[in-house]
Every structure is written in structure tokens, then in C-alpha cells.
Amino acid sequence: MNLVLLGAPGAGKGTQRAFLVQRYGIPVIATGDMLRDERKADTPLGRQVAPIMDRGDLVPDDLLVQIVKKRLQQPDTQRGFILDGFPRTLAQAQALDRILAEMGRALDAVIYLRVSRQVLIDRLAHRYVCRTCGSVYTFKAEEVRNLPRCPKDGGELYQRPDDRPEVVARRIDVFLQQTAPLIDYYTTQRKLENIDGQLPVEQVQEAILRKLKTLEPANT
């Protein structure tokens, strides 16, 4: 199963990709995580993208295309993959199609998690991550004043630089402006699956699974 998870920051892609990994046993290619790892390691790439991410802007297409192409050539993607954070522009989507065509492959579906702008802002402004295990949690405004430790391993919870309130709105607006053409692009290809991302997590999972089950016979 070759999938793209499409949705604005805060739409719940991280939660749903974990579910899909368990269901299909295929790797996640999350460009956001890859870039944050490069930044944390203070690599040349990390230093290049740090100011871009801090502004809430998108990393240049050519850079992301190179990263994704290299990752798709790894052996563990042969049974399929889940792309999260890529493509985010029409140029990236077209580049992805070319890369997959060269490999004799194609996307099976694009899962689009639809969430309103205000809900996205509320989620991101109160999203925190465990420093040790990377688990993500969303708190109510009053809970942020007294953050607990990570319930999984007791790790410290912190807010990513690109989740700061002053960056959140810009990240969402950039996504909505630059990613909107992808909706038409994948709708035309009959690969877009619209999912209400504001439903409870379990209902979102059920909706995704119903969509993908119709594709499974052709991929077995």
C-alpha cells in the first residue's frame, strides 16, 4: 500500500500514521521528523532549514524532493510506504509521480484529514512532545500552566519551536494556500479520500480503514 497522508499541521496525521503502520506493516516517511532530526544533529541541512522552519515557511521543493527520492529507494519501502508531510505543493506532487513512475510504482490513495483553521490553531497552540520518547499530547489551555510528565516514560514535555503560538497561524495559512491545489490534483486522479479529521480518533481510524479496504484486493 503506497499512501500519502495529507493534512495541515495539527490535523492528526501523526496519530493516524501510527495506526496505519500497525495495520499494514509499512514504514512512515515523515519529512517533518527527518528535518527536525537533521536540525537537532546540527547538520549542514539542519542549519539550512532551521530559519525556514522557525518562520513557519515551507522548505524548498527541490530539497525535499531529493530527500524523499533517496528514502523511497531504501529496501524497506518495497512493500509500501506512508508519506507524511510530502507532497505539500503541486510541484512536489508532480515530482513524486515522476519518481514513482521511474520506479514502476504509483500511489494507491491520498488520505486528506480535513480540520477547520480554528481547530488547528487551538490544537497546535497546546501541543507538547516528550523529550525522550517523542509522544505527542494536546492539553487544554488551563492544563498548560501545570504540565504533567509523559505518562509513558516520565519524560519532560516541551513545545516544538514551530508550534509556538506566533508561528502556528502562519504555518496553517502557508499550508492552506500552497497545498490547496493538491486537493484538485488528486481528486482529478481519483486518489483523494476525504476524512473528517475533527471526529474522535477511533472514528477517524474507522473511516480511513473503510476507504482503504476497497483498495486491498488489488494489492494482495
Indicate the pLDDT class of residue 220, thresholds 50, 70 and 90: very low
CA distance 157 to 203: 27
159 found inside a domain: no
Strongest mean pLDDT among 34-43, 73-82, 155-164, 209-218: 73-82
83, containing H or E segment? strand 81-84
Positions marked catalytic: 13, 88, 127, 160, 171
87 is a domain residue: yes
Closest CA to 156 of 185, 189, 133, 186: 133
pLDDT tens per residue, range 21-73: 999 999 999 888 888 888 888 988 889 889 988 887 878 888 888 889 989 99
Q: Is 193 helix (H, G, I), strand (E, B) or coil?
A: strand
The CATH number that applies at residue 211 is 3.40.50.300
Give the mean model confidence (pLDDT) for residues 183-209: 95
For residue range 82-122, list pLDDT tens digits in order.
999 899 889 999 999 999 999 999 999 999 999 999 898 88
Q: Is residue 208 part of a domain?
A: yes
Full domain range(s) for residue 207: 2-115+166-219
Overall domain count for the chain: 1
Identify whether 100 is part of a domain: yes
